[in-house]
Structure 1
Amino acid sequence: MSGSNPVWAERTPPAFFRRWRAEWRDEGLSPAHYLDFEGGLRAVLVAAWLFCPETVAYRGCVFLKERFCRGTVDDWFAKPGDDRQRIEAVVNHVELWDTFANTPLTDGDRLGEELPQLALALGECWRGVLSVRHPERKITVEVSDEEDGSYGPTVTFWTRPATSAFGRSGP
C-alpha cells in the first residue's frame, strides 16, 4: 500500500465488528449500528479532528495545525535546498502507530492489521477536505506502509499552486 492517490476500495469490516455482528446473529447490522449500540458518538466526535484536521497556511504552505511549529518551519526554510513541498511533507507526516500508541494493536481484535485501511480512509478524507479548503492549490496526499515495518501506516500531504489552463499558476 503506497501511493499519492489513496483510494480505500476494498472495504473489509474490522474483525471486532464482524465478531460483534455474529454475536447479534444479524448480518444486516452495519458499522453505523455498532457506533450507536456501543456508544461510539464520543469517539466519532473526537475522530473528526483526525479526518477533518485544522490547518494553518504559512509561508505559501499548508500545515496540520496540531503538528505546526512556526520556529521549526522557519528553521527548515533557512536551510539551503529545502523546498516547500518537502517541508510540508515532513511536518504533515502522521504515523498511525504513534497516533494509537496507547492502544493494544496485537491483541485478539488485531487492530494493527486494520490500520492500513484506516490510513487509506484518512488519505481520502484529507485529499477532499484540503481540496475544498485550498482550491488554489494542488493537493498531494501520500499513504504508505513501509515494507520493513519501521513506521507502520503513515499519511502525509504537500501542496503546490494549481496550474491554470494557460500554464500559469493560479491566483
Structure 2
Amino acid sequence: MSSVKPSWSERELPAFFKRWRTEWKDETLGPGSYLDFEGGLRFVLAAAWMFCPETIEYRGCVFLKDRFHRSTVDGWFSELGDDRKRVESVANHVELWDTFLNTPLADGDQLGEELPQLAVALGECWQGVLSARYPDREITVGVSDEEDGSYGPTVTFWTSSTESASR
C-alpha cells in the first residue's frame, strides 16, 4: 500500500475538464467556470458534506457521523481492545470506489484515474477541518491507493490528544 500525507499542491486538471475547455476554445477557463456553466452548484452543495463532514464523538473518539453506527464501533472496540486510533481509522475508512458505485469509472473521462487526486484533496480538507474543529487533538489523515487495486483510493483519519491537552 502506498500512503501519503495529504498535499494537493501540484495538481493535474482532469481529462474531462481539459476536453471541455478545448471544446469552448478558451484555455483560460478554470474549474470555477465549469461549475458555473454546467450547473455545478447542486453537486458542490452535496459535496460540502464530503469535504467538510459532520462528526460525532463517542467513547473518547471522533467518527464521521454519516458512517457512525454505535453497534459497529462497539464491535471494533471489542475486537481491537482500547486501541482508539485503530478503531477510528477502521470506522472512518472511506473507499472512493464505493462512494461512486453508480458512476462509470472506466469511460473516456478517465474518472477512475482521477480518484487518487480526489482522495488527496479530500484528505487535505479533512486535515484542516478536523484540526480546526478539534484543537485539543492531533488529527492524522491517511490517504492511500492500494497498489493491487483491491480498494482503490481511500481516506481515513484518527485522533490523539495533544500534549497540552493532557497536562
- Tell me the TM-score range normalised by the shorter chain: over 0.9
Q: Which residue of 1 aligns with 2:156?
A: 156
Q: Which residue identity is paired with 2:51?
A: F
Do 2:80 and 2:87's aligned partners in 1 also have CA atoms closer than 8 Å?
Answer: no
Q: Which residue identity is paired with 2:3?
A: S
Name the CA distance, whole Å, in 1 between partners of 2:150 and 2:129. Answer: 28
1:73-112 equivalences in 2 (<5 Å): 73-79=73-79, 81-112=81-112
Q: Which residue of 1 aligns with 2:19?
A: 19
CA offset digits 1:68-98 (Å, max 9, x no partner): 1112212322346451000000000000000
Indicate the structure with greater helix content.
2
Bigger shift: 6-15 or 75-84? 75-84
Gaps of 5+ in 2: none
1:169 aligns with 2:166: yes
Do 1:139 and 1:159's aligned partners in 2 also have CA atoms closer than 8 Å?
Answer: yes
Bigger shift: 76-85 or 130-139? 76-85
Q: Which residue identity is paired with 1:72?
A: T
Name the CA distance, whole Å, in 1 between partners of 2:43 and 2:8. Answer: 21
Distance 1:53 1:69, change over 3 A: same
Q: How far has the Cα of 1:163 moved from its partner?
A: 1.2
Name the CA distance, whole Å, in 2 between partners of 1:140 and 1:95. Answer: 17
For residue 25 of structure 1, give the secondary structure of its aligned residue in structure 2. Answer: coil
Gaps of 5+ in 1: none
Do 2:80 and 2:86's aligned partners in 1 also have CA atoms closer than 8 Å?
Answer: no
TM-score calculated relative to the size of structure 1:
0.93
Aligned residues: 166
1:36 aligns with 2:36: yes
Do 2:61 and 2:159's aligned partners in 1 also have CA atoms closer than 8 Å?
Answer: yes
Q: Which residue of 1 aligns with 2:10?
A: 10
Distance 1:68 1:61, change over 3 A: same
